[in-house]
Amino acid sequence: MLDNLSKTLRKTTDKIANAIFLDKALVDSIIKDLQRSLIEADVNVSLVLSITQKIKKAALDERIKGIEKKEHIIKLLHDELISILGVSKPITLSKKNTFMFVGLYGNGKTTTIGKIASYYSKRGHKVAALGLDVHRPAAPEQLKQILDKLKIPVFIDKEEKDPKKIYNKFKSELKKYEIVLVDTAGRDALSKELISELKSLNSLIKPTETFLVMSADIGQAAKSQAQEFKSSANITGVIITRMDSTAKAGGALTACSEVKAPVVFIGTGEKPQDLELFSPESFLSRLLGMGDLQSLIDKVHSALSPQQIQEQQSRLQQGKLTMSDLISQIETMESMGGIGKLTSMIPGFGKAKEKISDEQLETQEQKIKNYKNIYNSMTLAERDSPELLEKQTSRIQRIAHGSGTTTSQVRSLLKQYKLLQDLIKSQSSLSSGNLDQKTIMKLAKKFGRKMKF
């Protein structure tokens, strides 16, 4: 169900959470991905532009910075998506309930009646169905077959051609049931004939709910259909079927929201159990692959504290890197689940990840531990100025001894530090002290190639 949109949304929130700088280049790429996949899901272009413009504006707003900005954008993205999905309309049951199902030919009315009958009878309600589709000769038998399988009573009359007469015939019998599901006939379009038929059934039956059943594959066309049925057939909710078999479901859902026709259920397959209550919040949570907004925000707060990020950013922007920055990067790697995880998060490192075997990962993680031990065995002066070690073998020997490593391992850490520092210096002078996301990416790639983790 909307797999591509779901993938993009997950990727987008990851990009925001993991970004060091939310600069224009990154924002542009996020916006482009979002626009592409929302439009692919058939969401109205002007809706898409309005959402993405709001996000872009917030992202480039200089008044909010760092973690707060990431949080702000994630919230904004979440709230905007919820708002285009509409509001949830809970179905409250009374003592006696009559649900009438209306819609055009082949949109899934009869199948959905089976699903809803199963849904409520499983929850202990006494359910029955009434077949009032007198236009398609096979319709009453189809309804009967579906409900017989579920062992739910069904009332049909294959000979009678007047739906009102069928209703009157079974009226007293139906009073025994808590929920009566009424199947009606479809048409190719909402013709005058269909409108008058639905109006007369409405005034005779007085259903507690009238559900418009529409297939998701009509995408944005759901808007005019919902609007027309709303004004002529008094619908109280919409059921979108075939969510499982189209990429256009985003269009159908958001179109209903635009005309304030609340979606109450979605159909996700042909079987009786393929039905879900619809609520924008839970639907979006599933698309995002997160429990709720809070878990999304927690993602932003994951690895480093806001202060740590800010301090590191300003040092990097000035082209400075301390030994403790390097160790802090290494510690971050550990808290994120080791270098394997890190490689998947840094652009350009992704491919290398596949080539690293478990065994290699283990030695790399051991190396990281060694580096930390080496750092802990250094004096404060040595940490501030690692150059002190370069010419003094005795210091290197002392550190190797203290950390349980070898002198060549100490030299290796010094080499990594120097390499990264040189890269940062050269980059920051090239970009006149203004390191942005693109430069960081380039750096990460170069760094990745030369680092010997």
Ligand X SMILES: Nc1nc2c(ncn2[C@@H]2O[C@H](COP(=O)(O)OP(=O)(O)OP(=O)(O)O)[C@@H](O)[C@H]2O)c(=O)[nH]1
269 near ligand X, judged by CB under 6 A: yes
Binding ligand X (rule: CB under 6 A), the pick from 23, 42, 71, 133 is 133
Residue number with CB closer to ligand X (131 or 386)? 131
Among 17, 23, 41, 103, binds ligand X (CB under 6 A): 103
d(Cα 415, Cα 406) in Å, to the nearest integer? 14
Examine residue 110 and tell whether it contacts Mg ion (CB under 5 A): yes
- How wide is the angle at C-alpha 132 spanned by C-alphas 128 and 133, nearest 5°? 125
267 binds, among ligand X, Mg ion, none (CB under 5 to 8 A by kind): ligand X
Q: Which of 3, 60, 87, 105 binds ligand X (CB under 6 A)?
A: 105
Contact 201, 208 (CB under 8 A): no
Q: How far is the CB of 286 from Mg ion (least distance, A)?
A: 29
Among 52, 268, 343, 439, the residue binding ligand X under the rule CB under 6 A is 268
**12, 97, 111, 416: which one binds ligand X (CB under 6 A):** 111
What are the CA-CA distances from residue 226 to residues 230, 280, 336, 446 (Å)? 6, 18, 47, 55
> Binding of Mg ion at residue 241 (CB under 5 A)?
no
Residue selected from 244, 258, 292, 331 as contacting ligand X according to rule CB under 6 A:
244
CA distances from 278 to 127, 284, 438 (A): 21, 10, 41
Least Å distance, CB 185 to Mg ion, is 8
HSE of 411, CA atoms in CB hemisphere, 13 A: 9
* Residue 225 within binding range of ligand X, rule CB under 6 A: no
CB contact at 8 A, 97 and 174: no
In angstroms, the Cα distances linking 116 to 129, 215, 239, 244, 281 are 10, 16, 11, 17, 22
Whichever of 22 and 275 has its CB closer to ligand X, that residue is 275
Q: CB nearer to ligand X: give 111 or 428.
A: 111
Told to check if 215 binds Mg ion by CB under 5 A, we report: no
Q: Which does 105 bind (CB under 5 to 8 A by kind): Mg ion, ligand X, none?
A: ligand X
Q: Is 373 in the site for ligand X (CB under 6 A)?
A: no
Taking residues 176 to 205 in sequence order and writing x for each that binds ligand X by CB under 6 A, - otherwise, the string is ----------x-------------------
Which of Mg ion, ligand X, none interacts with 108 (beta carbon under 5 to 8 A by kind)?
ligand X
Site of interaction with ligand X (CB under 6 A): 103, 105-111, 133, 136, 139, 186, 213, 241-242, 244-245, 267-270, 274
